[in-house]
Structure 1
Amino acid sequence: MSVQNFIPTIWSARLNESFKKNLVYGNIVNTDYEGEIKGQGSTVKINSIGAVTIGTYDKAAGIGNPQELDSSQTNLIIDQAKFYNFTVDDVDAAQANVDLLSGGIVEASYGLANVVDQYIAGFYTEVKAENTIGNDTTPIVPSSATAYDLLVDLGVILDENDVPEGDRFVVVPAFFYGLLVKDPRYTKDANVMRTGFVGSIDNMSVYKSNNVPNTTGAKYKIIAGHKSAISFAGQVDSVEAYRPEKQFSDAIKGLQVYGAKCIKPEAIAVLTVNKS
């Protein structure tokens, strides 16, 4: 649709941007291998080293032959590619006193980030069965009295898996956050209520997102874990400005490639909840 429909007698000097979700899933992954990708179809091979055996020393028997270390390898494949391609007609640009191309780039960049956010959120499926609370058949229905405790229970699962205390996270939907706000254990910190900062619960940084996976407003998948669990690699592969052959207009197209891999499934836990 041309922006002709938006040409009034007087043009505003401000663009009316759309409402945007808070994008948070990009904050809960690591990008340790991002510098090693080379476009769509690239594969990053990630090596892991097995545990080292600790023995009891006997000066008579000595320490024996050295242990040969075990290693394993997993592949992070850059198999996702998303693009944008939009144009602004010369006539429209001449009548506007705002930079429509720059505004379009802002919207396109957000759109790409939102797609990536949802992609990362989908990695809840990598969780081990024993690291789950509730499921699609019997989802938990939280209340203001239980929401806080359910997050603590997720933290306990991480504790039992020897997941490091630092860099832990949990991402909750808006309704669940609303239940936390009603719990005095959460609201005792005045900064939480004044700024909307979610803070931390049981050493987990708590994020709020409308991209929490769900099925028609039910079976929300609340993911808790450690930042090392999921590796993400992505790059803007190309951004080009050009003049379409059959139009008097300026156009911009861009391509982003990316991929992710859950390399430590034991470091994530998932709570399935329904609204009351």
Structure 2
Amino acid sequence: MAARATTLAQGFSQKLMLEMYDKDLSGIITNTDYEGEINGVGSKLNILNFDRVSEKTYADSAMSADSLTENNAQLVIDQYKAFYWKEKTLANWLSYVKNPHPTIVSQVANERNKNKDTYLFGLYGDIGAGNRVGTDHADGTVSIAATTGVVTGSGTNFTAAMVGKGFQADGHTTWYRVKTYTSPTQITIEDDKDDVTSAYTGGVIVGSSTYTIEAATVVNITVSNLLQYVGQLKKKLDLAEGNGYNSVPDTDRFLIVPPEFEYNLVRASGVALHVPDVYSELVKKGFITELLGFKVFRSNRLSGDNTDGYHIIAGHPNWMTYAEKVLEARIEEDLIGDFGAAYKDLFVYGAKVTDPRRHFATELFATFA
């Protein structure tokens, strides 16, 4: 009896995962480079990388050596999910549905898929500063303290909603991000890094300097400007290496959009929706078309809405590393004091965007006409 229960539990687990993988987008927007390692060690894995070593021009004289700088990021499995349900013998006999199991398996698979997608799409805040598209904010002028990153403004109209957005002032050579909000005329900024202790290294910015806070509010997408904004997302990725970040490959780029985007897309001039035969299997995942090098997928699970704005994500799978594991799946064949069976499983997962990969994705903060 015990051996049979083990075999049935294994079959149940594989069926559940097969249903889920047939529909979810985790394999489109993430990589699983470290999944095997983290499954072997537990809930946390340290991922190391080194800062770039620059090639020098040799002038037939002694050179100064670069120091190797090691960075440590952690992929943490912190999402713990489970299903547990009973299928009772008498209830099955009385019901029109004599074998509810396949239907329930499909339902829980879709529910798990929804929760996974919602979690992954919710990491839009880990997109690199300077890689957001929306309506920028540039009211007034600012000065910035040398090491604290305190920004003192005049007529700036800062808001708490700007926390996490990219910030760049006249005199900066890279983008920083808003760390905290204090008042309409004071915020604090920091380096756009999560894997090291928070710091600001952008130096003093003197008073009356202009600045930009990216995508502070939404941009409204219409039939006439849709391609323009998709082009801006593409440009952000294309210019990553030129801006001092890692180069983003041209292949396997994705764009996840809400249904309202598709409605505008089909009415936009100069756009012909086409699904090549090679991508026919992707249709069940919400694949719409290819557009400016992006594979475009429709999803109802993006963060936001058409009132406050969708956080639309475009990028490359190298942006986010993801790992998951079914820790246990079991069938209780003998319900104590009752007749029937119970099914349960424990599923864990987590994701990480390391600092060197933050600019492998872009965000469009938008509503749709």
Q: Which TM-score applies when normalising by structure 2? A: 0.62
Code of the aligned partner of 1:167:
D
Q: Tell me how far apart the structure 2 counterparts of residues 190 and 215 of structure 1 sit (CA, whole Å).
A: 27
For residues 132-171 of structure 1, the C-alpha deviation after alignment (integer angstroms, 9 at most, x for no partner) is 1126752111111111211110110111112221221111
Contact kept? 1:23, 1:209, Cα under 8 Å: no
Which segments of 5 or more consecutive residues in structure 2 lack a partner in the other structure?
1-21, 136-160, 162-215, 242-247
Q: Which residue of 2 aligns with 1:6?
A: none
Code of the aligned partner of 2:231:
V
Establish whether residue 157 from structure 1 lines up as the match of residue 236 from structure 2.
Answer: yes
Code of the aligned partner of 2:112:
L
Q: Which residue of 1 aligns with 2:313?
A: 223
Alpha-carbon distance, 1:83 to partner: 0.5
Q: 1:199 aligns with which of 255, 265, 289?
A: 289
Code of the aligned partner of 2:365:
T
Q: Which residue of 2 aligns with 1:167?
A: 252
* Cα-Cα RMSD: 2.7
Q: Tell me how far apart the structure 2 counterparts of residues 40 and 247 of structure 1 sit (CA, whole Å).
A: 39
Q: Tell me how far apart the structure 2 counterparts of residues 97 and 73 of structure 1 sit (CA, whole Å).
A: 53
Establish whether residue 121 from structure 1 lines up as the match of residue 121 from structure 2.
Answer: yes
Distance 1:205 1:144, change over 3 A: same
Q: Which residue of 2 aligns with 1:47?
A: 48
Establish whether residue 255 from structure 1 lines up as the match of residue 346 from structure 2.
Answer: yes
For residues 49-79 of structure 1, the C-alpha deviation after alignment (integer angstroms, 9 at most, x for no partner) is 2212212234x436x5764432211000001
Which segments of 5 or more consecutive residues in structure 1 lack a partner in the other structure?
1-20
Contact kept? 1:141, 1:275, Cα under 8 Å: yes
Q: Tell me how far apart the structure 1 counterparts of residues 73 and 273 of structure 2 sit (CA, whole Å).
A: 44
SS of alignment partner, residue 234 of structure 2 = helix
Q: 2:220 aligns with which of 141, 144, 151?
A: 141
Establish whether residue 131 from structure 1 lines up as the match of residue 210 from structure 2.
Answer: no
Residue pairs, 1:10-159, within 5 angstroms: 23-38=24-39, 42-58=43-59, 60-61=60-61, 64=63, 67-95=66-94, 98-134=98-134, 138-159=217-238
Q: Tell me how far apart the structure 1 counterparts of residues 353 and 275 of structure 2 sit (CA, whole Å).
A: 36
Distance 1:26 1:190, change over 3 A: closer
Q: Tell me how far apart the structure 2 counterparts of residues 151 and 199 of structure 1 sit (CA, whole Å).
A: 13
Q: Which residue of 2 aligns with 1:210?
A: 300
Q: Which residue of 1 aligns with 2:368?
A: 275
Alpha-carbon distance, 1:179 to partner: 0.9
Code of the aligned partner of 1:61:
S
Alpha-carbon distance, 1:86 to partner: 0.5
Distance 1:25 1:151, change over 3 A: farther
Distance 1:34 1:23, change over 3 A: same
SS of alignment partner, residue 264 of structure 2 = helix
Alpha-carbon distance, 1:103 to partner: 2.7
| Structure with more contact order per residue of length (Cα contacts < 8 Å, sep ≥ 6) | 1
Q: Tell me how far apart the structure 2 counterparts of residues 190 and 32 of structure 1 sit (CA, whole Å).
A: 29
Identity of matched residues, %: 26
